[in-house]
Structure 1
Amino acid sequence: MNPELSPYSFPMTWRTPSALKWLIVKHSRLQGTLITLEREAQALQEKIDAQRTRIADVKGKLTAIEQTLELHEIKIDVSDIAPVIPQTNPSTYRHGEMTRRIYEALKISDDWTRTACIVELASGITRESTEAAAYDEVRRMFRRRLRALFASGKVERQLKSGSKDGSQNQSLWRLPRT
C-alpha cells in the first residue's frame, strides 16, 4: 500500500506566504477597480457622444436661423447678437414650495419669528447642522422670499435693532393679523 494514500495520514497542505497573499488580494481588488472604471468610462463616453450629437443639432439649427436672417429685408449682422446662456442651477424648491413652507412655519410660531427660526421650521436646516456657506445660501433664499412677501403685504415685518453687544439688526416676521 502506498503510504501517501494511507487513510490514516493527513494530506499535506501548503501555507500561502503573507506577501504572496497580499499580492493576490491586491491584484483581485485592482481588477475589480479596473472593471468599475471601464464601466464608468463607457458611460461617460456615451454621454460625450450624446452631447456631441446635441451640439451638432444646435449648430444646424443656428445655421438655419442665420440663413433665414440673411433672407430678411432688414439686414442684421449675426455677430452683433449676444448669446443668452440658459440657467444651469436647478431650483432648490419647486415653484411655490418655499412660500408654502414659510406660511406653515409662521402658522406654527404664531408670533414674531426670526428668519433663522423660519429657516429651521421650514427646511430643518440649522447653522450647526450644515456647512456655513450652504446655510447662508439657504437663509439668503428665505430672506429674499420673505422680503417679497412683505412687499406684497402677505407677511408683516418688524425690525429689531441690535443690542448693546454689537449684534446686527434682525427682522422679525409674522402673518398679518386680521
Structure 2
Amino acid sequence: MQTDSGNRYAVKALKDKRAALAGEIIQLKKKLDWAESQLRHVDATLSLFDPKIDPGAIPAARPQKHVKLFKQGELNRLIFDALRVSGEPTRTFDVITSVILALGHEESARPALGPRVRSNLQYLMRRGEVAKIGGGRDARWTLL
C-alpha cells in the first residue's frame, strides 16, 4: 500500500473530476427546470386552443441529434477541389476518397462521409454548380 503522499495526485485528480461532474449536474438540473417550465407554458397554451386536450397523452418525440462534421461551406469546397484537381468527370467514389484524404481520415470514415458527400453532390447539382454524367456506380461528376 502506498503512503498518503503517494496518493495525493490521484486524490487531487478525483476531486477535480468530482467537482466537474457536480458542476455539470447543477447545469443539467437548471436546463431541466427551464425545459419543464417551457413545457408547462406550451401545455397551458394548448388548453386555451382546445380545452379538451390532454397534453400528457401526446407522446414525447425523440430529440434529433445533429452532428456537425464540417464548417460552413467546407464540404462544398472539398468537393469543388476534388473535381477541379481531377480535371475530368470524376466518380463519386473518387470524390469521397479525395474528401477523406483532405480531412486526414482513414478509409474507415467512408461509411460516415459517403452519404454526406453524395447528398452534397446532389445539392450542388440542383443549384447548377456541378453536373452528373450517367447514373448508378458509373455516374461521374464535373464542374459547370
In which range does the TM-score fall when normalised by the shorter chain? 0.7 to 0.9
Instruction: Note the aligned Cα RMSD (angstroms).
Output: 3.1
Equivalent residue runs for 1:60-139 within 5 Å: 60-72=37-49, 75-124=52-101, 130=106, 132=108, 134-139=109-114
1-structure distance, mates of 2:48, 2:131: 56
1:55 to 32, 35, 46: 32
> What is residue 147 of structure 1 aligned with on the other side?
122
> What is residue 173 of structure 1 aligned with on the other side?
141
**Structure 1 residues 27-71: Cα deviation after superposition (integer angstroms, max 9, x where no partner):** 72x431231122012101110111011101211221132223323
TM-score normalised according to structure 2 size: 0.77
Please identify, of 63-72 and 47-56, the stretch whose mean Cα deviation from structure 2 is larger.
Answer: 63-72
Kept after mapping to 1: 8 A contact 2:92/2:140: yes
**1:142 CA displacement:** 0.5
- If asked which structure has higher relative contact order (CA below 8 Å, sep 6+), I would say 2
Q: 5+ unaligned residues in a row in structure 2: which ranges? A: none
The answer as to 2:9 corresponding to 1:32 is: yes
The structure with more helix, counted as a fraction of residues: 2
The structure 1 segments of at least 4 consecutive aligned residues displaced by more than 6 Å after TM superposition are none
1-structure distance, mates of 2:103, 2:36: 46
SS of the residue 1:47 aligns to: helix
